[in-house]
Structures are given as structure tokens and as C-alpha cells.
Amino acid sequence: MKPPIRPDVPLREFTTLGVGGPARFWADCADEEQLKEALAWARSEGRMPTVLGGGSNVLASDAGFDGLVVRIMNSNITFEADVAGQVLVRVGAGCIWDEFVAAMVAEGLSGVECLSGIPGWVGAAPIQNIGAYGQEVAETLASVRVVHRFSGDTEEIPADMLGFAYRQSRFKEDWRDRYVITRVDFRLPRNPRGTVRFPALKQLLGMSERDLAPELPTIREAVIDIRREKSMVLDPEDPNRRSAGSFFVNPVVSDRIANAVQKRARTRGTHRRMPRFATADGIKLSAAWLIEEAGFPRGFGRNRVGLSSKHTLALINRGDASAEELVSLAAEIRHEVHKVFGVLLTPEPVFLGFSKSTQALLADSRPSDEGPG
Ligand SMILES: Cc1cc2nc3c(=O)[nH]c(=O)nc-3n(C[C@H](O)[C@H](O)[C@H](O)COP(=O)(O)OP(=O)(O)OC[C@H]3O[C@@H](n4cnc5c(N)ncnc54)[C@H](O)[C@@H]3O)c2cc1C
């Protein structure tokens, strides 16, 4: 049965940044069959389809989206074979991410406990390989079930095909706009104790290097506490609540560039140590540190937009802001960081309904994007 298709649904009501004009058409699909019907309708009407979950990683344009927004509402969780202490868990894309994590913690299944409190739905988790506190979804994701947006065909794709990297997957690259994820399968070890790698989390839990990790519910509570401190959980009472989480990803650069950035910081007389972390792909710098050193402290404000008072990386809508104002602040920050440190920051949220590419939009929203290179 075709799902009800609604016209002119305001995106600002369905995105955590609280901005965005109308979606021309909107369909909430109960299951894959309804999704296929909705996609067929979009094809027959010549309308571009896109997909939303919880809207917590999207910056929607003031003009809105002139196509069909679909959401897949299936939120079933099923437990399959338990092989060698690992359980295959199949989760509907419409399941709220944190409800899934809570259910796994209650079940004694480890591997996602440090991802407690991340907003959004399960179907979006693979898109940017969500991660926090030393854990990321790529570690336990087994496969995804998808519907091709244009042919309507169904496929199951194993994790090793998904091109996972830090906040990255093929869904953000060559498969952008190709599939709707309808189910995500995880392989989770049955283990009442979790994994704690992140130093700040270890400290909060009072763990020394040799201590075993605490039980899963303890880790979950500690993670949610830290996140709440940083306004990184959705809380209707929090003045920093209208954000998309981190607006920029931490840049991963070569050793040579990391040294050059450090040199520039020293030349400027920076007193704070520059954070740098060696990863398999290069040196990860702290986008928050670069932004602060470039002159944008926590709580920085530009009329109706600003930075969270608890988290430098979160751009916030301080009330009734437009997408244009957010883009303009993002462009200003990116421009200044580039001018001061020669590093171009990449935004984390997906831009929806803009006529230009994200890079072009950010470059054009400033008079010049040239830095000292
Ligand atoms: C306060 C706050 C804290 C956050 N903290 C973190 C964090 O710690 N770590 C982290 O990684 N992220 C974090 N985020 C970002 C965000 O929560 C995640 O990226 C989340 O996975 C987005 O889920 P969503 O359902 O809201 O996706 P949406 O915002 O609705 O969509 C995001 C993208 O995914 C696509 N998409 C959504 N569902 C599907 C689907 N079923 N099939 C195909 N494509 C789909 C959309 O088209 C869009 O391109 C945070 C956000 C906020 C607001």
C-alpha cells in the first residue's frame, strides 16, 4: 500500500538545528514495501527522493527541498544466531539509536555502549560511521540492507564494502543519494563488561591502566553524563540544544602539515599545547582547538547564531535563525582557521536543498577563501 504523501512539510520541525524551509513532499513509510511505493511515486512524478531519520546531522536550506523526503519507520530489533559468544542483532532503520544502545546494554551485549546518547536513528548510523569516546559503529556493524532509490531493488551489503573511515563511508562519497538503508545488522559480543579506551572516560570511571572495564550500564551512564555536560544529548531545556552536534570533523593531515600548523601556533605565541593524535590515516588535529585559537571561543555569538557555550564544535541556532546565517558563520570560521593555520575544515552535517555543493557554498559565503597555504 502506498504511504500517505503529504505536501509542504517544514523541515525546521524535523531537524535538530531547527532551520529549513518546506519539503515539497513527505512520506513516512512503515516498511520496505511502502518505501518502494513511495520511491516509485517519486519516479513517476519526476521528483528527487531523499531520506531523513532524526534530522540530527542535516543542515536544510531556507528554500527547503523540492522533492520527496522519505523516512523509514520500521524499528524492530531481532536477535539471531549466537555463535561463539557473538550475537547477530538485526535492527530496523527507524529505531532510535539510543533506544537500540539501551536495549543492547540491558541484554549484556557490548560494542555500542560508548555510543550512548548519540541522537538520531539507526539507519543513519553507517552514513558517517558514528563514533564517540573511542568507539565507532564500524567496529561491530556486520551488514546493511538497502533499497536502491531509483530501481527499487533490495540488496544486502557486508560491512567490508562500506568504505568506513573516521566519520566517513561510501554513503557520503560515491554512493551518495543512491540507497535507503532499511535495516542494520550488528555482531555484538556477549560480554557484561564494556571496552573503555578514551582517557577522559577512564578518568571519570576512576580506572587505572590495569583495571578491567566496568559493567555496561555503568559505562553507559558515565558517557551520558559527560555528553550532558557538553550539551551533546538532546535536552529540550538546554539553551545549546539546537545544533547538529559537531559541525566540523577533526582534520586528519600528514606529519608535515601537522608540524607546519604547530609552527604557526608557536609563531603566534600560542600558550596551549596543540592536540595531535597519530591514527592509521595520519595525524588527527583537534578542530575545536584550531577554531578557538583562530578567535572563536565557546559561546561566541553572531546575532541569532553562535557556538555552544559548552562545546566549541557545535554551531547553534540561538532562536529563529536561518540556514543562511548558519552557513555564513560556518564559512567565517572555516575561512579564519584556514587563514591562521592553512587547514580547511570539512563540515560534518549533510547540506540538504542547497543549489551549490557544500564546499562551494562555504567558499562563496566569504569574500575570499585564500589563506597563506
Ligand atoms: C547533540 C548532538 C550530538 C551528536 N553527537 C554525535 C557523536 O557523538 N558522534 C557522531 O558520530 N555523531 C553525532 N551527532 C550527529 C548525529 O547524531 C549522527 O550523525 C546521527 O547518526 C544522525 O542520525 P539521524 O537519524 O538524525 O540522521 P539525519 O540527520 O536524518 O540524516 C543524516 C544523513 O543520513 C542520511 N540518512 C538518514 N537515514 C538514512 C537511511 N535510512 N538510509 C540512507 N541514508 C540515511 C540522510 O539522508 C542524511 O544525509 C550528534 C548530533 C547532535 C545533534
Q: What is the pLDDT of residues 67-108, one digit of tens each?
A: 999 999 999 999 997 888 899 999 999 999 999 999 999 999
Is the beta carbon of 329 within 6 A of some atom in ligand 1? no
- Distance from residue 54's CA to the centre of ligand 1 (Å): 7
End-to-end Cα, the chain, rounded Å? 56
The pLDDT value given to residue 365: 80
Mean pLDDT value across the chain:
94
Residue pair 147/209 in contact by the 8 Å Cβ criterion: no
Q: How many CA atoms lie within 13 A of 298 on its CB side?
A: 11
pLDDT, tens digit, for every residue of 313-335?
Answer: 999 999 999 999 999 999 999 99
Residues of the chain with CATH 3.30.43.10: 5-72
Is the beta carbon of 244 within 6 A of some atom in ligand 1? yes
The predicted model gives 238-253 an average pLDDT of 96
The pLDDT value given to residue 372: 35
pLDDT, tens digit, for every residue of 259-309?
Answer: 999 999 999 988 899 999 999 889 999 999 999 999 999 999 999 999 999
Q: Which atom of ligand 1 is nearest to the CA of 244?
A: 53
Residue pair 338/369 in contact by the 8 Å Cβ criterion: yes
Nearest CA to ligand 1 atom 50: 245
pLDDT at 366 over 80: no
The pLDDT value given to residue 84: 86
Q: Which atom of ligand 1 is nearest to the CA of 132?
A: 8
Percent share of the chain, pLDDT over 70 = 98
Highest CATH level, class, for 5-72? alpha beta
Highest CATH level, class, for 252-364? alpha beta
As a whole number of angstroms, the distance between CA 184 and CA 66 comes to 28
Q: Who wins on pLDDT, 364 or 16?
A: 16
- Distance from residue 125's CA to the centre of ligand 1 (Å): 6
- Distance from residue 177's CA to the centre of ligand 1 (Å): 15
Nearest CA to ligand 1 atom 22: 120
Is the beta carbon of 132 within 6 A of some atom in ligand 1? yes
| Count of CB atoms situated within 10 Å of the CB of 119 | 22
Of 28, 100, 127, the one to substitute when testing ligand 1's pocket (max ligand atoms within 8 A of C-beta) is: 127
Of 14, 36, 56, the one to substitute when testing ligand 1's pocket (max ligand atoms within 8 A of C-beta) is: 56
As a whole number of angstroms, the distance between CA 107 and CA 126 comes to 22
- Distance from residue 363's CA to the centre of ligand 1 (Å): 24
DSSP 95: S
pLDDT, tens digit, for every residue of 98-119?
Answer: 999 999 999 999 999 999 999 9
Q: Which grid coordinates belong to 105?
A: 546494554
> Which amino acids are annotated catalytic?
167, 246, 348
Nearest CA to ligand 1 atom 4: 245
| Count of CB atoms situated within 10 Å of the CB of 268 | 12
- Distance from residue 302's CA to the centre of ligand 1 (Å): 26
Burial of 269 (0-12, 13-18, 19+ CB in 10 A): exposed
Confidence of residue 311 (pLDDT cuts 50, 70, 90): very high
What does pTM read for this prediction? 0.95
**DSSP H or E stretch at residue 307:** strand 305-307
Residue pair 243/231 in contact by the 8 Å Cβ criterion: yes
| Count of CB atoms situated within 10 Å of the CB of 186 | 25
Residues of the chain with CATH 3.30.465.10: 77-229
As a whole number of angstroms, the distance between CA 265 and CA 139 comes to 35
Is the beta carbon of 251 within 6 A of some atom in ligand 1? no
Is the beta carbon of 72 within 6 A of some atom in ligand 1? yes
pLDDT at 368 over 50: no
- Distance from residue 115's CA to the centre of ligand 1 (Å): 13
The pLDDT value given to residue 83: 84
Confidence of residue 201 (pLDDT cuts 50, 70, 90): very high
Question: Quick one: fold of 77-229?
Answer: 3.30.465
